Amino acid sequence: MTSPLRHLTEAGFPGKFYIDGEWRKPIGSVAAAATVVNPATEQPIAEVALGDDDDVDCAIAAARRAFAGWSTTPPAERAALLDRIHALLLQRLELFAQALTCEMGAAITYARRAQVPLAAEHIRVARDNLANYQFVTPRGSTAIMREAIGVCGLITPWNWPLYQITAKVGPALAAGCTVVLKPSELSPLSALLFAEVMDDAGCPPGVFNLVNGTGPIVGAGLASHPLVDMISITGSTRAGVLVAQAAAPTVKRVAQELGGKSPNIILPDADLSRAVPLGVGAAFRNLGQSCSAPTRMLVSRSQMEEVEILAAAAASELVVGDPLAESTTHGPIANRPQFERVQTMISVGLKEGAKLVIGGPGRPGDLQIGLYARPTIFSNVRRDMRIAQEEIFGPVLSIIPYDTVDEAIAIANETVYGLGAHVQGTDLETVRAVAHQIQSGQVHLNHPDWDPNAPFGGYKRSGNGREYGREGMEEYLETKAVLGFYR
């Protein structure tokens, strides 16, 4: 199979944007490029063109021209396009998996098993929801109409590059919107491959557009542009605030999926032999580089010693190393700034006096090259420690003791975030009651299967709006009431 780098280079995609159904070179007055670095080797692997305001204007103009036609296209035709996109993503699964591995370090086995197929699921769900959605419903003599909001700027992160693209593009197109995508400049290769899928699937010109660039230029340009009707951003809380500020003068809708510091409450009656290893696995999924990762494990004080033993055993089973090796479960941290952040916060945990159960600073084993971090677990973490309050975004788990279930709930809720949460216990009535009191957009009970139809989003500083499922599509719709429509 042709490598993704060779495929992209031979097609000339890294130096171009996808605008109005064509691959185009930047038109901005200042040529700029971002160097994509393979985090496993710390070597540059590609140069990707970065856009400016002129490129943003061009892409938005194309999306605006296409909106009138696309928004009135019969739902069956929009669903047919989504069906073709879904099929192409699955056909090219290996190409995407290889791209994700080299651009952000995902273990190839994880990219094949999760990053790509779960991304494809967002397209399938968007197609299925579109096929069953009632865009006009009666309420007495009034018609409640749901209509596409317009041109949408989509800003996606580096940690789940393809997954977050499909989570936005799928429902936006299903709703009848046209889009301009700005992927992270740190992991843009899978986005270029996705643009190729859109082209090969027969997406009408202007319906989908891609402009690579930085947040302060392309991201801010989309957010402030008067012809953009909505911004959807997945990123840090800081980035979400900046986007909202830029969008405020034009009073556009802003959907934000931002940071998190998710709790995992292990109730006293939980089966620790199951709950603790699964909790460690969830916290370190994608090497902890997930905004909803449950990186605060809340445990009854009397069970701390047993939990520490089980957690250390689970972490010791993880294989950190070459992401292309079939035996590897976790590759490197995705980029240098994040690697430094993780190392800093591990040092902070030690200085704060937390008990180091396993891991610690530096690279694991004899790895000398690559942005590899040691899966690290702290215990006896006080609720006011920085490692208990700040989003680390890496393989660092804090085990926090509680004396009563009410105290566990209070600890779970005492952060500025509210994106995800987990509750483990044998008595389902109690588990449900605890879940009801947690302030977060999602709560997982006893580690259920992933549900692509479950809406995802945050309370508090974790964001506004929802993604996934029916609610994810409705973010891209306006509500119109037509009185006297029915007689």
Planar angle of CA 264, 270, 273, nearest 5 degrees: 90
Euclidean distance between CA atoms 481 and 180, whole angstroms:
28
Q: Between these two residues, 49 and 32, which has the higher pLDDT value? A: 49
Helix residue ranges, H only, 49-92: 53-71, 75-91
pLDDT reported for residue 5: 87
Active-site residue flag, 257: yes
Look at residue 124 and tell me whether its pLDDT is greater than 90. Answer: yes
| Average pLDDT over all residues of the chain | 97
Length of the chain: 487
- Per the residue annotation, which of 102, 177, 203, 291 is the catalytic one? 291
Long-range contact list for 269-272, CB < 8 A, 24+ apart? 269/425, 269/426, 269/427, 269/430, 270/424, 270/425, 270/426, 271/424, 271/426, 272/303, 272/306, 272/307, 272/310
- At residue 2, the pLDDT reads 72
Q: Is 152 a catalytic residue?
A: no
462-475 pLDDT tens trace: 999 999 999 999 99
Max Cα distance, the chain (Å): 77
Query: What is residue 30's predicted lDDT score, i.e. its pLDDT?
Result: 64
Superfamily of domain 263-452: Aldehyde Dehydrogenase; Chain A, domain 2 (3.40.309.10)
Q: Mind listing the pLDDT tens digit for each residue in 127-177?
A: 999 999 999 999 999 999 999 999 999 999 999 999 999 999 999 999 999
Per the residue annotation, which of 121, 185, 196, 257 is the catalytic one? 257
With 0.95 as the threshold, say if the pTM is over it. yes
Full DSSP string of 275-334: HHHHHHHHHTGGGG--TT---EEEEEGGGHHHHHHHHHHHHHT--BS-TTSTT-SB---S
User: In this predicted model, what pLDDT tens digit does every residue of 374-421 receive, in sequence order?
Assistant: 999 999 999 999 999 999 999 999 999 999 999 999 999 999 999 999
Residue 208 banded pLDDT, cuts 50, 70, 90: very high
- The better pLDDT of the pair 2, 479 is held by 479
pLDDT per residue as tens digits for the range 70-122: 999 999 999 999 999 999 999 999 999 999 999 999 999 999 999 999 999 99
User: For residue 29, is pLDDT > 70?
Assistant: no
According to CATH, the topology of domain 4-258+463-482 is: Aldehyde Dehydrogenase; Chain A, domain 1 (3.40.605)
End-to-end CA distance of the chain: 62
Contact 280, 274 (CB under 8 A): no
